[in-house]
Amino acid sequence: MAIKEGDAVPDVKLTEMADGKPSQVSLAELARGKRVVVFAVPGAFTPTCSMKHLPGFVEQEKALRAKGIDEIVCLAVNDAFVMDAWGRSGNAGGKVRMLADGNGDFTRAVGLGLDASGFGMGQRSQRYAMILRDGRVEKLLVEAGPGLSVSSAEAVLAHL
**Residue 7 covered by a domain:** no
- Per residue in 10-63, pLDDT tens? 999 999 999 999 999 999 999 999 999 999 999 999 888 888 999 999 999 999
Predicted model pTM:
0.94
**Residue 8 covered by a domain:** no
Domain that holds residue 17: 13-158
HSE on the CB side for 128, CA within 13 Å?
A: 21
Q: Amino acid letter at 122?
A: G
In this structure, what CATH number is given to the domain that contains residue 133?
A: 3.40.30.10
The C-alpha atoms of residue 2 and residue 116 are separated, in whole angstroms, by 18
The C-alpha atoms of residue 69 and residue 62 are separated, in whole angstroms, by 9
**Residue 1 covered by a domain:** no
- Split into its structural domains, the chain has a count of 1
- Per residue in 37-50, pLDDT tens? 999 999 999 888 88
- 159 C-beta neighbours (distance < 10 Å), count: 13
Active site residues: 49
